[in-house]
Structure 1
Amino acid sequence: MTPKNTLTAVIAAALAATTGFAALPAVAHQHGDHAKAAPNIIQTAMSTGVHNTLVAAVKAAGLVETLSGPGPFTVFAPTDTAFAKLPEGTVATLVKPANKGMLTGILTYHAVAGKVTSADLVKLINQHGGEATIKTLAGGELTARLSGDKIVITDATGGVTAVTQADVMTSNGVVHVTDGVFLPG
Structure 2
Amino acid sequence: MSAQDILASARARLRGAPREALGELVVPRRVLGIGRADRIVPRGTAWHLGALLLTDDGVLGTGEILRARTEARRGYAAESQRQRAELAAAARRGGFAEGETVHVGWQELDIDAVDGGAASGPLALRDGVPSIRWSAAGGYMPLERYLAERIELLRNPPAGAT
Relative contact order (alpha carbons < 8 A, sep ≥ 6): 1 or 2 greater? 1
- Structure 1-normalised TM-score? 0.30
Structure with the greater alpha carbon radius of gyration? 2
Higher helix share: 1
